[in-house]
A and B are shown apart, each in its own frame.
Chain A
């Protein structure tokens, strides 16, 4: 989100909360979120794609709601009204095609109306076909899960996204000569996919609250958290959404405003200033001294923290204006004495997601073997696999693989080290000074481990990354 997007959204939320209080608050959140996903979608070189990408997000969300919700809730009439209103908003946005002055919310001129109506028709028919299915739930949930993960891979794996882009270009009658992996940027999809997978998995384990389609859409694409998280849980979000909202109290206003200002300062003052000197593909090859290499690596480590946690503060601040308390995503991660603690406090909602839906089930499964493998082997396997997946979540490239591997192995080594030295260090650190020594050296070591890991994250080539590391240690 750019500064202007944030300021407009914060002002609109504030205005709504102070003027209308609880009247239509959930409608405001729903409609604003629908409009915002069109507004934030960047322009794409494929004709019509920047309009149909947000439409695809909505279709995907509605289909997921349809297969996860219980029969009784699904049949309620209000869902049809909500869907009609959401479709109406999309059609209004589409109609701005004919009024250039009103094309404020789409990156380029919206496509012809017929195509949108066709998409609605196909979605409607799919919903009808789904509702006629006998033996509805179990297998269809698995299909939904596989399709969501498949779509995620299609977007994230460069070779596949190139194929997708060629297909879409052919579909829209464009030439294939300029096809590129950067053709297709689906704004917010990483987060949307994770919220959808979470709801499907929870439904499979029988813990899915009954929500109407409007509540579900608002949860998945809630505009403050749409582009950069946090990844909330449906049950928690719905509790806030349904709680009576008596308007914005002065106390809540101060606290939300403070959070928002803090976020703006972190992102647009600190992070953007650090970005001028932070490690990137260009300066990585230009810097020749070890000292300056450390400076740009440190700058990157702080830039990414202030950027990301600043966005989180902004999201939490805006949401709070509307009476929604989104979960925290960062808790002083660079002040943690070991890598395990770092990951418990960095992008927490993502790591909790991976723990709940990947790490724990895999660990449980490995534990239940007749002849279980050795504990260290199990820890190595689960930690590396989890961190590799977190790497792939950011993009399926060699550098994200190396970054995931770096952290997976780091967590494994920390676990073994901790196991071997836990009793000894507890016996040694008997005074507050000794405890402080252990703590401070742990913090410094962890921070440097993470900072070196960021080199893979910031750069696009493994060779350049390796050269930067050699330079840091004065080897080259």
Chain B
């Protein structure tokens, strides 16, 4: 279940946000606190999640406190599906 969620998101981040399609993002790698994803791209990610999984991520939830890696993000999505 988690892999099904993580794989497309990891692909989206590497290709569209980081523009490094070959980059592998591990499930526990810090995304926000490390500065890997900036605040503007974070909204892209939120919209991608909404389109792909039909789950809304609120404006106030786009921060490292709510989720900082793919694993946490996946469980957030799974809990709302």
Residue numbers of A with Cβ under 8 A of B are 201-202, 205, 207, 336, 338, 340-341, 344, 352, 355-357, 359-361, 363-364, 367, 378-379, 382-383, 415, 418-419, 422-423, 426
Q: Binary interface profile of B, 18-40, with partner A (CB < 8 Å = 1, else 0)? A: 11100000000000010100111
Would you call B63 and A355 a contact (CB within 8 A)?
Answer: yes
Would you call A352 and B63 a contact (CB within 8 A)?
Answer: yes
A236 CB to nearest chain B CB (Å): 8
Chain B residues 1-49 with CB under 8 Å of chain A are 18-20, 33, 35, 38-40, 42-43, 46-47
Would you call A356 and B40 a contact (CB within 8 A)?
Answer: no
Q: Binary interface profile of B, 42-77, with partner A (CB < 8 Å = 1, else 0)? A: 110011000000000011101100000000000000
Residue of B whose beta carbon sits closest to that of A419: B19
The 4 closest A-B pairs by CB, nearest first: A360-B59, A356-B60, A363-B43, A341-B35
Residues of B within 8 A of A336 (CB): 35
Residues of B within 8 A of A364 (CB): 43, 46-47, 59
Would you call B40 and A379 a contact (CB within 8 A)?
Answer: yes
Residues of A within 8 A of B59 (CB): 356-357, 360-361, 364
Residues of A within 8 A of B20 (CB): 422-423, 426
Known: A360-B43, A363-B43, A364-B43. A344 touches B35 (CB 8 A): yes
Residue numbers of B with Cβ under 8 A of A are 18-20, 33, 35, 38-40, 42-43, 46-47, 58-60, 62-63
Q: Which of A205, A355, A422 contacts B58 (CB 8 A)?
A: A205
Known: A367-B47, A423-B19. A202 touches B39 (CB 8 A): no
Residue of B whose beta carbon sits closest to that of A358: B59
B17 CB to nearest chain A CB (Å): 10
Q: A205-B58, A207-B60 are in contact. List 11 more A-B contacts (CB 8 A).
A: A207-B58, A340-B35, A355-B62, A355-B63, A357-B60, A363-B40, A364-B47, A364-B59, A415-B40, A419-B19, A422-B18
Residues of B within 8 A of A426 (CB): 20
Residues of A within 8 A of B42 (CB): 360
B40 CB to nearest chain A CB (Å): 5
